């Protein structure tokens, strides 16, 4: 029997697995995708994420995980009426596949067993342990005293455990060769309702121009993406010579109050699975911090399962407060998110 099974090898899962393994717990980290896993993401590490990497993993992000321009200098928001807000802050530009792969390798070096290409399809709490149904080349089960679900919003495990169907925001982004009159060292977010149903964005990775829109209705992707590209052509002289690739993803639809689901019994939720997500889809810092807090709650209360979830909730009070303040700030800046103020 494992002490803990961690589901999902993103920032939340890898942080939880490493924290537990390096403290002597027997940990299994499972990831449904083959490593290195890839997630559709801006791949920008804010200053807080960089600090958490050093705190939790003992070193800075390695160069092989970065892309150019390596340094991110902050974010530039355009609100719903076209007013720009500049936020200067040190950051890093990374590829999520390389970054997440490095995090998983660090968890493995600390003693966690890592299995990729293995999906968790069920979790059933028994008398004193959790039985996890896993699927790799075949279906099988593993047992653990606790499970930490870090699959994110795209995972099916939480829905099966709680029966709840979360609200989604659909993201669509393309990578393009071309030119544009914008500084590639910044991440740009556009909150005008005519450009998306949530937000639109632009950044640069290894010379590729990345354009994205998020919607509530998948059928409207083409409409909003076309309007966003036209806007960038007219406003910033965008010229696209070739589209290299396109991708879709899901992220949680954060609602007023920023509800967080900490788990059920011996099963904890962390990262996006719990509901931790900052504005504009910044989930790396929240994922790492909540993953660490979940792991610490288990470690500090291992023989007292009735106190684990309360300890986890208490240790993430500052994280949730930070998230609420960030969403409230965006709500005050743009009418698009006024309900979050």
pLDDT digits (tens, 9 = 90+) for 231-267: 999 999 999 999 999 999 999 999 999 999 999 999 9
In angstroms, the CA 50 to CA 19 distance is 17
Using a 10 angstrom Cβ sphere, with 0-12 exposed, 13-18 middle and 19 or more buried, the burial of residue 200 is buried
Angle at 23 between CA 50 and CA 19, to 5 degrees: 25
DSSP secondary structure string for all residues of 221-232: HHHHHHHHHHHH
pLDDT per residue over 170-196, tens digit each? 999 999 999 999 999 999 999 999 999
* Residue 276 CB-half CA count within 13 A: 31
Dihedral sign from CA coordinates of 99, 17, 320, 155: positive
Residue tagged 């008398």 (tokens):
127
| Number of neighbouring beta carbons within 10 Å of residue 242 | 8
Question: Is the pLDDT at 165 greater than 80, yes or no?
Answer: no
- β-pairing, 66-78 with 208-215? unpaired
- 170, 200 Cβ separation under 8 angstroms: no
pLDDT at 100 over 80: yes
Kindly report, residue by residue over 63-95, the tens digit of the pLDDT.
999 999 999 999 999 999 999 999 999 999 999
Provide the whole-model pTM.
0.96
Structure confidence at residue 124 (pLDDT): 96
Give the residue from 87, 89, 102, 112 showing the smallest Cα distance to 22: 112
Q: Running DSSP on this structure, what letter comes out for residue 128?
A: S
Helix (H) or strand (E) holding 332: helix 317-333
- Length of the chain equals 341
How high is the pLDDT of residue 270? 98
Neighbours of 289 (CB within 10 A): 26
């Amino acid at each position: 029997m494992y002490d803990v099974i961690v589901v999902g090898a993103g920032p939340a899962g890898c942080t939880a697995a490493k924290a537990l393994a390096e403290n002597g717990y027997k940990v299994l980290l499972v990831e449904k995708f083959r490593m290195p896993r890839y997630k559709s993401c801006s791949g920008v590490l804010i200053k807080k994420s960089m600090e958490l990497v050093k705190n939790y993993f003992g070193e800075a992000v390695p160069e092989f995980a970065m892309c150019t321009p390596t340094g991110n200098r902050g974010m530039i928001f355009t609100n719903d009426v076209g007013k720009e807000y500049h936020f200067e802050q040190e950051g890093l530009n990374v590829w999520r596949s390389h970054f997440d792969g490095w995090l998983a390798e660090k968890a493995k070096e600390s003693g966690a067993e890592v299995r990729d290409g293995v999906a968790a399809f069920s979790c059933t709490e028994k008398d004193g342990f959790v039985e996890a149904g896993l699927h790799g080349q075949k279906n099988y089960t593993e047992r653990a005293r606790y499970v930490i679900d870090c699959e994110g919003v795209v995972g099916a495990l939480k829905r099966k455990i709680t029966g709840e169907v979360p609200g989604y925001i659909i993201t669509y982004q393309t990578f393009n060769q071309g030119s544009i009159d914008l500084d590639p060292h910044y991440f740009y977010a556009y909150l005008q309702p005519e450009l998306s149903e949530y937000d639109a964005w632009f950044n640069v990775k290894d010379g590729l121009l990345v354009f994205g829109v998020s919607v509530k209705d998948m059928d409207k992707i083409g409409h909003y993406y076309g309007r966003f590209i036209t806007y960038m052509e007219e406003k910033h002289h965008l010229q696209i010579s070739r589209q290299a690739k396109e991708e879709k993803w899901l992220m949680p639809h954060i609602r007023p109050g920023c509800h967080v689901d900490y788990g059920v019994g011996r099963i904890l939720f962390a990262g996006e699975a719990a509901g931790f997500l900052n504005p504009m889809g910044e989930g790396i810092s929240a994922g790492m911090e909540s993953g660490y807090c979940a792991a610490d709650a288990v470690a500090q209360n291992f023989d007292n399962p009735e106190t684990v979830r309360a300890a986890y909730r208490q240790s993430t009070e500052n994280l949730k407060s930070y998230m609420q303040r960030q969403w409230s700030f965006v709500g005050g800046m743009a009418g698009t998110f006024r309900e979050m103020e």
